[in-house]
Amino acid sequence: MAGKVAIVTGGSRGIGRTIVQTLAAEGAKVHFFYRSEADAAREVVDAVSAAGGQATAWMVDVTDSQACQQAVEQIADQSERIDVLVNNAGIVRDNLLAAMEDEEITSVLQTNLFSVFHVTRAVVPFMMSQRSGQIVNLSSVAATKGGRGQANYAASKGAVEAVTRALAVELAPRKIRVNAVAPGVIETAMSQQVRDLAGDEVKSRILLKRYGQPEEIAQAVTFLASDLASYITGQVLYVDGGFKMA
Binding-site ranges for ligand NDP (CB under 6 A): 9-10, 12-16, 33-37, 40, 61-63, 88-91, 111, 138, 140, 183, 185-186, 188-191
User: 130 to each of 80, 81, 138, 175, how far by Cα in Å?
Assistant: 10, 8, 24, 9
Least distance in Å: CB of 59 to ligand NDP? 8
User: For 206, which DSSP code?
Assistant: S
In whole angstroms, what is the distance from residue 56 CA to residue 38 CA? 12
Instruction: Examine the residue annotation and report whether 238 is marked as an active-site residue of this protein.
Output: no
Nearer to ligand NDP, 31 or 35 (CB): 35
Least distance in Å: CB of 154 to ligand NDP? 11
Nearer to ligand NDP, 10 or 53 (CB): 10
Cβ count near 192 (within 10 Å): 10
Nearer to ligand NDP, 127 or 181 (CB): 181
Nearer to ligand NDP, 82 or 119 (CB): 119
Least distance in Å: CB of 92 to ligand NDP? 7
Please work out, in degrees rounded to the nearest 5, the angle formed at the alpha carbon of residue 179 by the alpha carbons of 178 and 185.
Answer: 150
Cβ count near 173 (within 10 Å): 9
User: 141 to each of 28, 144, 175, 182, how far by Cα in Å?
Assistant: 28, 6, 28, 6
User: Per the residue annotation, which of 153, 211, 231, 238 is the catalytic one?
Assistant: 153
Least distance in Å: CB of 152 to ligand NDP? 12
Catalytic positions, written as ranges: 153
